[in-house]
Structure 1
Amino acid sequence: MTSHGAGSELALRDWLRPRLTPAMLDDLARRDHGMQVDAHRAALRELLLVKHLPTELDWTPREVLELASHGAPPLVRLFACTVLVRAGALNPARIVAGLVDEARALGPDAAAAAADFLTWCRDHEPDDELRPVLAQALARLA
């Protein structure tokens, strides 16, 4: 059992929130070749405050999150992967693997928050094909 019982949708986002600096968010907002930086920044800030992670994303901030999920500083990549897991990533297995890799690299507290988040996702995921990916990810975090 995780520290959040049956998992928590916001466990990992809430672990990340105080660690993501304004400079990190600005860097993330500029990842789309500097396009629509203000719109990306506003959308990213909103993601840090929402009561539920979105299951769909508009172009802003999806594009910068997808780009960061391919390679960014660990906290930024973990944030991007976290949001994309809920928002229907283009390549969910790669996104989940990136989330696990970064959480493990950031230490036991990040890994525990990731396990809580992925437990919640597994238990609430309607896609039968994604549930086994989430279960494998949880095994890697154990």
Structure 2
Amino acid sequence: MDYTTRFNPSEDALLYWLRERVDRSMLEEIAMADYSYNYELHLSALLKVHQGEALPVPIPWEPREVLELTRWSEPDDLYIEKYKVSKSFNKGSKGIPGHLIRAFACTLLLRAVVEPENRNSFDGENSTIVQLVSSAIHLGQDAATATVRFLAWCVEQVPHHYETERPFYVMGILLLEVFLATDKKKKNSKKKKNAKETYCESLLLLCDWVMDEEAKVRNNDNVPSSDWLLGLTFFDIKHDTWKLLTRQLLIEPIVPHSKKTVEILELIGLSLLES
């Protein structure tokens, strides 16, 4: 089954959305992430991308290094303290500006990752994916919708012979779709029956998709551990964030899941949390 087309894949929708909101001062902050080393070169590269140019392939050190460092930023101190999430490696903007900065960096990294000539330059995309998903949720419905479309496009680009990270893209889409549905239910409790059924069908398909992708990797690779999903990779620096979002959205949602989806969402959530 071709799952991706259901989510209207788009390479550019998210980047266009971010470009309209990321200003020069935010690009300057990214460029300074490596203790301002090669600041001018990093900034020049970032400005070109912000103005519509594609990242060079293969991706050069400027801006790759500062994009990777910015990926680790945590714009919400309260979020860090309350949930014991790993502290960031660099100090930067907080709140919405911080999430715009991090989302911009993660988007560029994931666009670079799927280029065949960059394949040996990156590892552990699951960390970049979950940082992007978290920021998209903080930025609201429009950002989350654009991120779903972008991640669906990414899945299409990831070759099956390099599929270890594929399930994480799909899990990111699932978390975002649950967030979007929950957010809409909070704003409109009198949701039409047809819309509810479409939402349930979409989530059930997503659950099948993520379990199918996880099983493919587990059956084909020598995976690090038996832990569901998170055990597929050695790159675990942001596994706590995967667990946090999973708990918030699948296990302890603000608005209860529908009767049709609650069992499978809780099964997936508990499988990940128990890993």
TM-score after normalising by structure 2: 0.48
**8 A Cα contact 1:68 1:77, kept in partner:** yes
Farther off after superposition, 84-93 or 11-20: 84-93
Classify 1:54/1:86 alpha carbon distance in 2 versus 1 (closer, same or farther; 3 Å). farther
Report the Cα distance in structure 2 between the residues aligned to 1:53 and 1:140, rounded to whole angstroms. Answer: 28
Q: Deviations over 1:49-103 (max 9, x none)?
A: 13x5566421100111011000051101001111111223432111100000000
**8 A Cα contact 1:9 1:120, kept in partner:** yes
Map residues 1-142 of structure 1 onto 2, 5 A cutoff: 1-2=6-7, 5=8, 7-48=9-50, 49-50=52-53, 56-71=58-73, 72=92, 73-88=98-113, 89-126=122-159, 127-142=162-177
Which of 1 and 2 has greater Rg? 2
- Structure 2 stretches lacking a partner, 5+ long: 1-5, 74-91, 93-97, 114-121, 178-275
Identify the residue that residue 263 of structure 2 maps to in structure 1: none
Report the Cα distance in structure 2 between the residues aligned to 1:115 and 1:98, rounded to whole angstroms. Answer: 14
Report the Cα distance in structure 1 between the residues aligned to 2:165 and 2:147, rounded to whole angstroms. Answer: 16
Q: Which aligned runs of 4 or more in structure 1 are off by greater than 4 angstroms? A: 52-55
- Structure 1 stretches lacking a partner, 5+ long: none
Classify 1:117/1:81 alpha carbon distance in 2 versus 1 (closer, same or farther; 3 Å). same
Look up the SS of the partner of 1:32 in the other structure. coil
> Which letter does structure 2 place at the counterpart of 1:102?
S
RMSD: 1.6
Equivalenced residue count is 138
Look up the SS of the partner of 1:34 in the other structure. coil
Report the Cα distance in structure 1 between the residues aligned to 2:56 and 2:145, rounded to whole angstroms. Answer: 22
TM-score after normalising by structure 1: 0.89
Identical-residue share of aligned pairs (%): 37
Q: Which has the higher contact order (CA 8 A, sep 6+)?
A: 1
**8 A Cα contact 2:124 2:165, kept in partner:** no
Report the Cα distance in structure 1 between the residues aligned to 2:137 and 2:151, rounded to whole angstroms. Answer: 13
